[in-house]
C-alpha cells in the first residue's frame, strides 16, 4: 500500500436532492368538464447514502470529490401521478469509516459491515398534490405543497482500520519487520524512525488454516496524543483492533518505562483503549543472552503477558502467534 495512495481523512460538502412540488390539476374529460382535483405528489429528493465495501482499504477515491450532490425529485402531475424520485447517491467507503460533523466533531454514522447502507443526508420530501386538500367546503383547492428543500452538510469521513491485532510501539521498534516476517505484507523498512508513514495490514497464517489480520500502526512518540510527531492522525487506527501487541525494542535502556509511556499516550487519546487485551513483545532480543533476558523479564510489568522475539533471527515468532491466537479466542468467548 503506497503511502501516496493511503487516504484516511476527507472533508466533503454533501447536498441531498430537494423534493418535487405537488401538482395543482383538475380532472378534465370529455363528459366530465368539472372533475375534481387530481394533482399528484412530488417525488422525494435523492438521499446521500454511505455503503460499506470490504474491497476498499482507503478513502483515496474520495480525495478530490469536494462536493457531492443528489438529484431533486420531479414535480407531480395530472391523474394523481407522483413525480419521479431523485436518484440516490451511494458513497462507497471502507469498513471502519466514521462520518463526523465537520464543525462539532459529533459522530453521525459509522460503517462496520460489508454492504451496510446508512442514509447520511436525507432527501427532501415531495409535496402533496391538490387532490389531498379537497374538503366538503372546498371541492376545488387551487393549492399544493411545495417539496421540502434539499439538506446540506459538511462532513468529515475518517477511516479506522479494522484488524485483529494492532502493533503499538515507538518508531524503529521493529513493527514493520515483524509484519513482513509474519505475513505477506511488504511495508517499507529501514533503520531510521518514521519509516512507516501509513498503516499497513497483513494476514498472518496460523495452523489448521486459521489466520488473523495484523495492522502495523505508524510509530508513537511521547506527546503523540497532543499532536506531536505524527500525532493523533494514526492513533485512531488502534481503536478498532481486537488486541494490542506492544513492541518495545531490547535496545531501550528502560523497557518498563517505554511500555508505560506508550500506555500513557493511548490513555490520553482514549482511555477505553486500556480495556483491550494487551501483549508485550520485546523485539530485537537476539541481542540479549539468557541471563539478560531473565533480568529484563523481572523488570517488566506483571500485569501483562510478555515474550522475547527477534524477527531477523526468527526467534519466538511461533510462540508469539500462539499467544495472539489464544488471546483472540479468549476474546471471542467473552463476546459470545
Is 108:67 a contact under the CB 8 Å cutoff?
Answer: no
Distance between CA 73 and CA 232 in Å, rounded? Answer: 42
pTM: 0.68
Residue ranges for the chain with pLDDT beneath 50: 1-3, 187-196, 224-225, 227-231
Residues 59-85 have pLDDT tens digits of 889 988 999 999 999 999 988 899 999
Provide the CATH number for the domain formed by 1-159 in this structure. Answer: 2.70.210.12
Residue 185: the pLDDT is: 56
Sheet holding 117-121, edge to edge: 89-93, 48-52, 117-121
Distance between CA 7 and CA 10 in Å, rounded? Answer: 8
- In the chain, where are the structural domains located? 1-159, 163-335
What backbone phi and psi angles, to 5 degrees, belong to 323?
A: -65, -45
Residue 268: the pLDDT is: 83
Residue 224: the pLDDT is: 44
Sheet holding 305-308, edge to edge: 200-205, 211-216, 163-169, 241-249, 277-283, 305-308
Q: Measure CA 219 to chain center.
A: 20
Domain spanning 163-335, CATH architecture: 3-Layer(aba) Sandwich (3.40)
Domains 1-159 and 163-335 share a fold: no
Amino acid at each position: 500500500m503506497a503511502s501516496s495512495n493511503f487516504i484516511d481523512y476527507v472533508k466533503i460538502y454533501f447536498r441531498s436532492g430537494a423534493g418535487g412540488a405537488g401538482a395543482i390539476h383538475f380532472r378534465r374529460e370529455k363528459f366530465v368538464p368539472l372533475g375534481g382535483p387530481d394533482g399528484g405528489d412530488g417525488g422525494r429528493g435523492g438521499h446521500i447514502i454511505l455503503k460499506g465495501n470490504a474491497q476498499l482499504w482507503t478513502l483515496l477515491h474520495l480525495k478530490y470529490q469536494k462536493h457531492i450532490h443528489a438529484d431533486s425529485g420531479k414535480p407531480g402531475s395530472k391523474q394523481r401521478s407522483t413525480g419521479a424520485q431523485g436518484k440516490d447517491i451511494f458513497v462507497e467507503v471502507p469498513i471502519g469509516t466514521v462520518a463526523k460533523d465537520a464543525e462539532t466533531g459529533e459522530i453521525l454514522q459509522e460503517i462496520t459491515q460489508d454492504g451496510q447502507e446508512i442514509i447520511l443526508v436525507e432527501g427532501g420530501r415531495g409535496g402533496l398534490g391538490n387532490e389531498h386538500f379537497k374538503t366538503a367546503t372546498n371541492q376545488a383547492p387551487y393549492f399544493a405543497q411545495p417539496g421540502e428543500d434539499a439538506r446540506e452538510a459538511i462532513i468529515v469521513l475518517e477511516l479506522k482500520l479494522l484488524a485483529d491485532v494492532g502493533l503499538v510501539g515507538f518508531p524503529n521498534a521493529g513493527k514493520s519487520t515483524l509484519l513482513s516476517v509474519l505475513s505477506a505484507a511488504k511495508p517499507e523498512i529501514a533503520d531510521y524512525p518514521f519509516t512507516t508513514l501509513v498503516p499497513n495490514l497483513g494476514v498472518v497464517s496460523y495452523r489448521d488454516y486459521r489466520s488473523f489480520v495484523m495492522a502495523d500502526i505508524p510509530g508513537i512518540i511521547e506527546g503523540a496524543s497532543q499532536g506531536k510527531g505524527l500525532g493523533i492522525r494514526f492513533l485512531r487506527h488502534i481503536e478498532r483492533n481486537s488486541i494490542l501487541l506492544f513492541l518495545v525494542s531490547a535496545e531501550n535502556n528502560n523497557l518498563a518505562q517505554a511500555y508505560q509511556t506508550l500506555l500513557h499516550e493511548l490513555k490520553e487519546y482514549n482511555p477505553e483503549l486500556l480495556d483491550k487485551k494487551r501483549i508485550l513483545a520485546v523485539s530485537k532480543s537476539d541481542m540479549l543472552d539468557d541471563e539478560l533476558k531473565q533480568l529484563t523479564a523481572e523488570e517488566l510489568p506483571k500485569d501483562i503477558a510478555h515474550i522475547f522475539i527477534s524477527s531477523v533471527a526468527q526467534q519466538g515468532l511461533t510462540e508469539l502467534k500462539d499467544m495472539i491466537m489464544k488471546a483472540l479466542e479468549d476474546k471471542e468467548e467473552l463476546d459470545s
